[in-house]
Each structure stands twice: as structure tokens, then as C-alpha cells.
């Protein structure tokens, strides 16, 4: 096979495109696609790639860039708020998982020192795979996403002491240590070098980068800006590596330092494509690195290792997450998302082997098991989501059905997010009492911190509505953020509490009709008024007088509301009837608008104050016509 | 039977005993259309075509409102400005309202005697209502002597009932064409 650069590039990119498209289509996410592509073109597959390790080194820059970008999104203040999660959840996870694996190794007759090293190596998860998958699924900024990130961050930090402490676990003497280029220095000097490097990154980031970026930006050389950003990331990674720190950690640090700089967004958008592609290459090289002959030779052993790695790690993660009072669905997600081995395992196993800590016979099957466990991550995440949904549903079923109501509520508000809170405040400010049902435990805790009393529960349950005071209340406000749930609540409210006036938040036209069908008394599309206000602001920005713009918006509202009512008649008479009615109506409205525009001065909003026809008549009379 | 349209305007109806008594006396009468303007147009966006259609299908137009600043609440003025368009209500071809009756029914804080040259308000209610009368005249409408409920805020329960009865009688009389 010809291994020229162009061939390699073509093979990598083509394999990535095909596999990722297929994986996405099946709904498994890009990571699995890349891994499968790697396995296919790797030395044990079709053999298109000669040197997966070489590729992996190049592709590690992808991981570094990813951590840099994550750092960019994390301002120091946010990081500070996460300190308990990082130092608590993260540290506990590494310790508990590490010791658990060590204990198991001991039980199967492996030397305790080897076991300890193996245990801590396996306690690390794959930052690259997990974060990429979370991002793709849009889970990165959920509680679960943040907790996972905290754990991964601590693991990245934990690599440093591992590298420092592993030589102490050596079971046989080795001629030369490979701990890092600084390992010949005394301990105090090494510490000093590490501290100096970190201080250097912070200082350079704070003081030098801004003038540099400003200078480059002023020259309008886009590619130089990108090159400079990449050089910065690579340089920091290099510096960190030279003092024995994880390059990814260094890049993360640099990112955090630059997070509040005005070039943050430009840096993000410039580097993002490199991250995606290089990370893809990294996953491909992980896939290519899976030692299939070894797997084929000892399938039972490898399968056993993969299964025990995942189950033990998931169990430890679940226990730790629960100990830190994470709700059960979240704990399950954390446990399954982080149950794989990480890319650092490849580095650390190599290091441990070289230092005579872990013999090759132990390391090789473990490396294969780690790679396979990484490949299983997307599937585990899907499983995790299923279990978490099932758990939160069953938890909702077990929720308490008696709330301590201090007053008889005038209104029951279902859903206490952005929408419900405003409704609640309007009612409260006008002297009415409300009773709130919210289905997210986190949201309940969050609003309680601000002195609002929300009760946890699913408002589509009759007993919970009754417990919330629906029998005594006059109104039911449906403000949940799930359209189907809203319909369900409206229906159940109508059926079981016919005296209630039901007011609902709608999402789009179709949802409005569905709510109308359920005889909801008042319906408000969640984005309509806001968009209308912005439209009014746009007219004012175009030079309209405030009153004129206000009336234009008012007229538009009236037209649109009538439209919705008129179209409701056609809705439900089959799709084609509805579509043709909508089209006819649209033509009518457009015609009306066009006429308004044509007679620009006499636009509907100010027709009443238009005196053109009167002036004309007066003039004609004056001329005696 | 002449059809009566009551255009009611009170921005603080929930606080007005007098207007409540008057409204309750007439809103359910047969042949009367009761139209609560502040309820229909909380944003003052008067729907002109709708109002004109209403006017066209009635013969007597009653404006019922408090006598704010010797005049009417703001929405009544807005309504007049918007609905009585040139070419429809007045001017060339503006005959839509011709021949219809215009009655003003107001509640007022002042006593009957205060609305006189010698009284505290110096002019009569009729004089204060001239702009409305002139508007009616421009639209070729028949200006009817206004119905006034004086010192309505001080009215006793008996006086409220009495005023309501007088108002109802007035509306019924209009329906008889008187």
C-alpha cells in the first residue's frame, strides 16, 4: 500500500466521511463512526494505515485544541463555582474507582503494586469521546454534562501525580526513568518548573496575547490570526509537556485565561474546524489501534475485561455520584457515560511498562479492552438516557402527593421555568396566591433558593393537581416547556376540574390548534409577543414614530389572531384542505399588505388621522368645483 | 323598533357604583347592543371596520361614560377620531350616520346647580358637551338632550336605583322613537 501523504489524507478523510454519515444516520453519533472507520482502515483491518501511533500523536493536537476550546468557554468564575464538583466528585471518583480495580486485581492474584497502577490508569475516562458525545447530544450544559466535565477535568489533573508517583510502584529495577525531561532535576526544582510554567501561561495569556491579537486583527490577515491561535495552543501544550504536565491540561488553562478576552469568539470560530477534524483523526487512530489479532486470540479474556471494566467503573461512579447527592437519573447517566477507559490509559500503560511497573502481558489485553470500551461509549450513552428517562418517570410516579399548602391558591401553575415564573410574578404582584407544580427537581431547588415555593411533581397527574389545589383554584396555567405534556395537562385539567379556566403556553400554530381543540380558554404563543415587540423596535429603528410603530404591531396582532381563528376551522379537515386554505389566506394577507405598502402614506395604522381626502374636498370646494 | 347601541367607556369600571347601576339597568334590554369599549380595546387599538359596521346596524347611539374633565375618558375621543372617517361619517358621500340619534349619558361629580353661570363650574353641561353636539351635527345625526346622573359618587342606594330607573326609562323611550 502506498503510504504517501495524499493517499493517507484521502483514506482518512474518505473513511471519516462515510463512517460518520452512516453512524449519524443510525443515530449513534460521530464518535462511533470515527472509531469504526479507524478499525476498518487500520493495520488489523484493511491495512490502509501503516502507523496508527504516528497518526495518533499528530491527532492528539485535536484533544489539546478541544480542551483549549472548553477552557475558552469556562470563565474563571464559573470554574470556581465548579470547585466542589471537581475536587469532590472528581477526586472521589478517581480514588474509589482506582482502589476498587486495585482490590479486584489483588483478588485475581496480581501484585498489589501492579494492581494499584492498573486501577488508577483504568479510573480515567475518555475526555475526548465523552465531551464530543455530550456536545453532539446537546447535553453539555445540563447538570449531568457539567458533573461529567468536572470529573473529567479532575482526571486530567490526576494524570500529573500519577506520572510522578508510578515510579515508586516499580516491581523491577529499570535502567532509566522516562518520567519526563525534567526528571533528572531534584524534586523542588521540578515543582518550581511546573509552577513557573503555569505562571508563565497565565501571565502571557493575561498580558501579551491581547496586544498581539489586537495587532494582528488590525492587519486583517485572517489566516495569520488562525495560525497565531494554533501556535499559541501548540506552544502551551509543548511547554506543559516539557515540565511533565498534561498538554491538554495546559491548553485548558490557556483557554480559561483567555475566556474573558474580547477575542474569545474569534478564537473559537477560527479553531473550531481544526478541533473537529483533528479530534476525528484522533478517534480514527484509536480505532485503528485496537489490536484485533489479540482480541481474536483471547476473545473470552478481552470480553471479560471489557465487561468488568465497564460494570465495575459504572458501579463505582454511580455510588460516588449518589454519595454526592446527585439524583438517581443523573447518577446513572454519569456512571454509564464515564464507564469507558480513557486515551490517557494508552500513554500511562506505555509509561508504566517502560518503568517496569506493569508487565506487557498485563498491559496489552488491558489496552485492547480500554479501546473497545471507548468504542462502546455511544451505545452506553444511549442506554444511559433510556434508563435515566425511565427512572425519572418512575420517580415522578413516586413523588409525594400531599403538599403543604399554606393558602388556598387562586391559580395552579404547571411548569415553573422562564415562562411560568413571569405568569406567577404578575399574579403575585396583583395579590393572588399561586400553587406551583414543576417536574424538574433541580428547578424546584433553584427557585426555592430564591424564596419561591414550587412543588416537585408531574402536573399531568390528577392526584398531584388536586394536591396542588386545583379543586379550589380558579385557574390552571399550563406553562410547561414540553408541548405534548402541555396538551396532556390541558386535557386532564378539563376532564377532572371542569370549573377551572385553563390558560396555556403554546409553541407554534399546530400547538395552538391542538390546544383550541381541547377548549383551552386562553392561549398565548410563547415567542409571539416578544417577536412583535422586536418588530416594533425594528420599525422605530427604521425611523417610524413610536405611536405609529405601536399601532402597526397592534394591527398585525389583530390580523394574526383572526387568521389563527379562521384557520382553525380548516385545520383537522385533512392536510390538503388545510394547506389550500392557508395558501388562500396567505395570498389574501399578502395582497392586503401590498396594498398598504403601495399607498405608503395611508398605511392602515394611521389612516384615521390621514386628512388627504378631506384636504382634497376642501380644496375642491374652495375652487368652487 | 329602533335598535340601540350603547358605547360604554369607563377605565375604572370596577370602582364605579353609579355606572354599574346604570349598566345593569340597560344592558340586557331587548333590542339593545351593549359594547364595553375599554373591555374591547384595552390597548386603545379601536377596530374601525368593526365599529363602523356596528354603527350601520343601529339607529340610536348612546355614549355612556363618566364626565371626566367636563368631557369623556380618552378612549371615547380616540374612538371618535378613528371611527368617524371622512367620506363615511361626514363630507362627500359621508352619509352612513345620517338620521341616527346621538345620546350622551354621563355620570358627574358636580351637583346640578353647580353647572350654571352662577355655579362653581360656570357653564352648563349642555355647553360643555358642545364639541359632541357639533360632531353629531356634522354627521347629520339627531342630537338628543343628554342624560345626566349628578353627584353620582355621593348617591345613596335609593338614589342609585332611582337613577338606574330613569336611565332605563330613557332608553325605552328612545326605542319607542320618542
Q: Is the pLDDT of residue A9 over 70?
A: yes
User: Would you state the cell numbers that stand for residue A177, as one nine-digit string?
Assistant: 526513568
pLDDT given at position B132? 98
What is d(CA A370, CA A375) in angstroms, rounded to the nearest whole number?
Answer: 9
Q: At what angle do helices A127-137 and A264-289 cross, to 10 degrees?
A: 120
Asked if the model's pLDDT at residue A276 lies above 80, the reply is no
Q: Mean pLDDT over residues B153-173, rounded?
A: 95
- Answer whether B91 touches A (CB < 8 Å): yes
Inter-chain residue contact A613 with B87, CB threshold 8 Å? yes
CATH of the domain at B128: 3.40.50.360
Instruction: Give me the percent of chain A exceeding a pLDDT of 70.
Output: 87
* The three cell numbers locating residue A468: 396542588
Question: What number of CA atoms fall less than 13 Å from residue B87's CA on the CB side?
Answer: 11
Mean pLDDT of A532-538: 95
pLDDT for B97 equals 97
Q: Which of B1, B21, B2, B19 is nearest to B11 (CA)?
A: B19
How high is the ipTM of this complex?
0.83
Please state the rounded mean pLDDT for residues A179-195: 68
Report the mean per-residue pLDDT for chain A. Answer: 81
Flag whether pLDDT at A251 surpasses 90: no
Q: Say whether residue B80 is in contact with chain A using an 8 A CB cutoff.
A: no
| Burial of A330 per CB tally in 10 Å (0-12, 13-18, 19+) | buried
Residue A303 corresponds to which cell in the numbers above?
A: 470480553
Cα of first residue to Cα of last residue in chain A, in angstroms, is 98
CA atoms of A217 and A215, how far apart (whole Å): 6
| SS3 letters across A326-375 | CCHHHHHHHHHHCCCCCHHHHHHHHHHHHCCCCCHHHHHHHHHHHHHHHH
Distance from CA of B51 to the nearest CA of A (A): 13
User: Residue A114 phi/psi, 5° resolution?
Assistant: -60, -45
Contacts with B80 from chain A: Cβ below 8 Å:
none
Q: Count Cβ atoms below 10 Å from residue A435 Cβ, excluding itself.
A: 26
| pLDDT tens digits along B17-76 | 999 999 999 999 999 999 999 999 999 999 999 999 999 999 999 999 999 999 999 999
What pLDDT does residue A397 have?
60
- Lowest mean pLDDT, pick from A236-245, A533-542, B82-91: A236-245
User: Confidence class of residue A172 from pLDDT cuts 50, 70 and 90?
Assistant: low
Cell matching residue A243? 515540565
Q: Is the pLDDT reported for residue A592 higher than 80?
A: no
In this prediction, residues A106-113 reach a mean pLDDT of: 83
Which of A554, A611, A614 lies closest to B45 in CB terms?
A: A554
The neighbouring-strand residues paired with B66 are B107
- CB of A532 within 8 A of CB of A553? yes
Q: What are the contacts of A519-526 at 24+ separation with CB within 8 A? A: A519/A494, A520/A478, A520/A490, A520/A494, A526/A419
Q: For residues A164 and B131, give the distance between their C-alpha atoms in angstroms, rounded to a whole number.
A: 95
Q: At residue A167, does pLDDT exceed 80? A: no
Q: Confidence class of residue A498 from pLDDT cuts 50, 70 and 90?
A: very high
The whole-number pLDDT of residue A597 equals: 46
Q: Residue A555: list chain B partners with CB under 8 A.
A: 45
Is the model's pLDDT at A45 over the cut of 90?
A: no
Q: What percent of chain A has pLDDT over 90?
A: 19
Domain locations in chain A?
5-393, 411-526
CB contact under 8 A, B91 and A617: yes
Q: HEC string of A534-557?
A: HHHHHHHHCCCCHHHHHHHHHHHH
Which residue has cell 379537515? A573
Mean pLDDT of A158-162: 76
Contacts of A421 (CB under 8 A, 6+ apart): A447, A452
pLDDT digits (tens, 9 = 90+) for A46-61: 777 666 666 666 667 7
Question: Is the pLDDT at A355 greater than 80, yes or no?
Answer: no
Residue bearing cell 384595552:
B42
pLDDT category at A528 given cuts 50, 70, 90 is: very high
Nearest to B153 by CA among B16, B24, B21: B16
* Count of A-B CB contacts under 8 Å: 23
Of A159, A268, A158, the residue nearest A213 (C-alpha): A268
Shortest distance between the Cα of A579 and any Cα of chain B, in A, equals 28
Report whether A365 contacts A305 (CB < 8 A).
yes
3-class secondary structure, A502:
strand
A609 to chain B: which residues are within 8 Å by CB? Answer: 81
Which residue has better confidence, A365 or A159? A365
Cβ distance of B45 and A551 shorter than 8 Å:
yes
Per-position b or e across A26-65, b if 16+ CB within 10 A of its CB = eebbbbbbbbbbbbbbbbbbeebbeebeebbeebbbbbbb
Is the predicted pLDDT of residue A1 greater than 50, yes or no? no
Number of domains in chain B: 1
Instruction: Give pLDDT, residue A598.
Output: 47
Domain A411-526 CATH superfamily: NAD(P)-binding Rossmann-like Domain (3.40.50.720)
Query: Would you state the pLDDT for residue A391?
Result: 81
Q: Is A282 exposed, middle or buried (0-12, 13-18, 19+ CB in 10 A)?
A: buried
pLDDT of A5 over the 80 cut: no
- Facing B86 at nearest CB: one of A555, A558, A613: A613
Helix (H) or strand (E) holding A144: helix A143-165
pLDDT of A265 strictly over 60: yes
Cβ count within 10 A of residue A89: 23
pLDDT in tens, A120-137: 999 999 887 888 888 877
Whether the predicted pLDDT of A565 surpasses 80: yes
Query: What pLDDT score was predicted for residue A339?
Result: 92
| A173 pLDDT more than 60 | no
| Burial class, A382, CB count within 10 angstroms (exposed 0-12 / middle 13-18 / buried 19+) | middle
Q: Mean of the pLDDT values across residues A8-17?
A: 82
What pLDDT shows up at residue A67? Answer: 76
Provide the pLDDT for residue A175. 43
| Dihedrals phi, psi of B74, to nearest 5 degrees | -55, -35
pLDDT score recorded for residue A590 = 65
State how far Cα A325 lies from the chain centre. Answer: 21
- Look at residue A236 and tell me whether its pLDDT is greater than 60: yes
Neighbouring residues of A468: CB distance < 8 A, sequence distance ≥ 6: A403, A405, A409, A412, A435, A436, A437, A455, A457, A459
Q: What does the pLDDT read at residue A169?
A: 75
For domain A5-393, the CATH architecture is Up-down Bundle (1.20)
Residue A366 has pLDDT above 60, yes or no: yes
- Specify the DSSP element, H or E, that contains B103: strand B101-107
pLDDT for A53 equals: 66
Return the closest-CA partner of residue A155 out of A96, A115, A105.
Answer: A96
Q: Whole domain around residue B132: which residue ranges?
A: 4-175
**B48 to A614: CB separation less than 8 angstroms, yes or no:** no
Complete DSSP assignment for A168-216: GG-SS--SS--S-TTTTS-HHHHHHHHHHHHHHHHHIIIIIHHHHHHHH
Q: Can you give the pTM of this predicted structure?
A: 0.58
Amino acid at each position: 500500500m502506498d503510504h504517501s501523504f495524499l493517499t493517507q489524507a484521502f483514506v482518512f478523510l474518505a473513511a471519516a466521511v462515510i463512517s460518520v454519515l452512516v453512524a449519524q444516520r443510525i443515530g449513534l453519533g460521530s464518535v462511533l463512526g470515527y472509531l469504526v472507520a479507524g478499525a476498518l482502515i487500520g493495520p488489523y483491518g484493511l491495512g490502509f494505515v501503516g502507523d496508527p501511533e504516528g497518526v495518533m500523536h499528530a491527532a492528539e493536537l485535536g484533544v489539546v485544541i478541544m480542551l483549549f476550546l472548553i477552557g475558552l468557554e469556562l470563565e474563571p468564575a464559573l470554574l470556581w463555582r465548579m470547585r466542589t464538583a471537581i475536587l469532590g466528585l472528581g477526586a472521589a471518583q478517581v480514588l474509589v474507582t482506582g482502589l476498587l480495580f486495585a482490590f479486584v486485581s489483588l483478588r485475581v492474584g496480581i501484585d498489589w503494586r501492579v494492581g494499584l497502577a492498573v486501577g488508577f490508569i483504568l479510573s480515567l475516562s475518555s475526555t475526548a469521546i465523552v465531551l464530543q458525545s455530550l456536545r453532539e447530544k446537546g447535553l453539555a450544559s445540563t447538570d449531568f454534562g457539567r458533573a461529567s466535565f468536572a470529573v473529567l477535568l479532575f482526571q486530567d489533573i490526576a494524570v500529573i501525580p500519577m506520572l510522578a508517583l508510578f515510579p515508586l510502584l516499580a516491581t523491577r529495577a529499570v535502567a532509566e526513568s522516562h518520567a519526563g525531561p525534567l526528571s533528572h532535576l531534584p524534586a523542588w526544582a521540578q515543582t518550581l518548573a511546573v509552577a513557573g510554567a503555569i505562571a508563565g501561561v497565565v501571565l502571557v495569556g493575561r498580558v501579551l496575547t491581547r496586544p498581539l491579537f489586537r495587532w494582528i486583527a488590525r492587519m486583517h490577515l485572517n489566516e495569520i490570526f488562525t495560525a497565531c491561535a494554533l501556535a499559541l495552543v501548540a506552544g502551551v501544550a509543548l511547554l506543559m509537556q516539557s515540565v511533565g504536565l498534561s498538554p491538554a491540561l495546559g491548553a485548558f488553562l490557556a483557554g480559561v485565561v483567555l475566556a474573558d478576552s474580547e477575542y474569545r469568539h474569534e478564537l473559537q470560530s477560527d479553531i473550531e474546524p481544526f478541533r473537529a477534524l483533528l479530534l476525528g483523526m484522533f478517534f480514527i487512530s484509536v480505532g485503528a489501534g485496537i489490536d484485533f489479532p489479540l482480541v481474536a486470540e483471547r476473545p473470552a479474556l478481552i470480553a471479560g475485561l471489557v465487561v468488568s471494566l465497564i460494570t465495575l467503573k459504572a458501579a463505582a461512579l454511580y455510588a460516588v455520584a449518589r454519595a454526592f447527592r446527585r439524583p438517581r437519573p443523573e447518577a446513572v447517566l454519569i456512571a454509564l457515560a464515564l464507564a469507558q477507559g480513557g486515551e490517557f490509559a494508552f500513554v500511562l500503560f506505555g509509561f508504566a511498562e517502560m518503568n517496569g511497573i506493569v508487565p506487557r502481558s498485563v498491559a496489552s489485553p488491558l489496552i485492547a479492552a480500554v479501546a473497545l470500551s471507548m468504542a462502546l461509549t455511544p451505545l452506553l450513552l444511549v442506554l444511559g438516557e433510556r434508563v435515566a428517562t425511565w427512572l425519572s418517570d418512575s420517580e415522578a410516579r413516586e413523588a409525594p402527593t400531599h403538599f403543604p399548602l399554606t393558602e388556598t391558591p387562586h391559580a395552579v401553575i404547571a411548569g415553573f421555568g422562564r415562562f411560568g415564573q413571569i405568569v406567577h410574578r404578575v399574579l403575585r404582584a396583583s395579590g393572588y396566591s399561586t400553587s406551583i407544580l414543576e417536574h424538574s427537581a433541580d428547578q424546584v431547588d433553584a427557585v426555592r433558593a430564591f424564596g419561591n415555593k414550587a412543588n416537585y411533581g408531574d402536573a399531568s397527574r390528577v392526584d398531584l393537581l388536586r394536591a396542588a389545589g386545583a379543586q379550589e383554584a380558579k385557574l390552571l396555567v399550563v406553562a410547561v416547556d414540553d408541548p405534548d405534556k402541555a396538551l396532556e395537562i390541558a386535557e386532564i385539567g378539563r376532564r377532572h376540574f371542569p370549573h377551572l379556566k385553563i390558560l396555556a403556553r403554546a409553541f407554534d400554530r399546530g400547538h395552538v390548534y391542538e390546544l383550541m381543540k381541547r377548549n383551552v380558554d386562553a392561549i398565548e404563543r410563547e415567542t409571539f409577543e416578544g417577536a412583535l415587540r422586536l418588530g416594533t423596535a425594528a420599525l422605530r429603528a427604521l425611523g417610524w414614530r413610536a405611536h405609529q410603530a405601536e399601532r402597526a404591531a397592534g394591527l398585525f396582532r389583530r390580523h394574526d389572531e383572526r387568521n389563527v381563528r379562521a384557520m382553525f376551522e380548516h385545520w383537522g379537515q385533512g392536510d390538503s384542505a388545510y394547506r389550500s386554505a392557508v395558501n388562500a389566506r396567505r395570498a389574501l394577507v399578502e395582497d392586503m399588505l401590498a396594498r398598504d405598502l403601495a399607498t405608503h402614506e395611508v398605511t392602515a395604522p394611521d389612516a384615521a388621522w390621514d386628512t388627504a381626502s378631506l384636504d382634497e374636498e376642501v380644496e375642491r370646494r374652495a375652487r368652487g368645483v | 323598533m329602533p335598535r340601540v347601541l350603547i358605547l360604554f367607556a369607563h377605565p375604572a369600571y370596577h370602582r364605579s357604583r353609579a355606572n354599574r347601576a346604570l349598566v345593569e339597568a340597560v344592558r340586557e334590554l331587548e333590542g339593545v347592543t351593549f359594547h364595553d369599549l375599554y373591555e374591547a380595546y384595552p390597548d386603545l387599538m379601536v377596530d374601525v371596520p368593526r365599529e363602523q359596521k356596528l354603527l350601520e346596524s343601529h339607529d340610536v347611539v348612546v355614549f355612556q361614560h363618566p364626565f371626566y374633565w367636563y368631557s369623556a375618558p380618552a378612549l371615547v375621543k380616540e374612538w371618535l377620531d378613528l371611527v368617524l372617517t371622512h367620506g363615511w361619517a361626514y363630507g362627500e358621500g359621508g352619509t352612513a350616520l345620517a338620521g341616527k340619534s346621538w345620546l350622551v349619558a354621563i355620570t358627574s361629580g358636580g351637583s346640578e346647580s353647580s353647572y350654571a353661570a352662577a355655579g362653581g363650574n360656570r357653564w352648563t353641561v349642555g355647553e360643555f358637551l358642545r364639541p359632541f353636539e357639533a360632531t353629531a351635527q356634522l354627521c347629520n345625526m339627531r342630537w338628543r338632550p343628554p342624560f345626566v346622573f349628578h353627584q353620582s359618587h355621593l348617591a345613596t342606594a335609593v338614589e342609585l336605583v332611582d337613577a338606574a330607573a330613569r336611565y332605563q326609562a330613557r332608553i325605552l323611550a328612545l326605542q319607542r322613537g320618542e
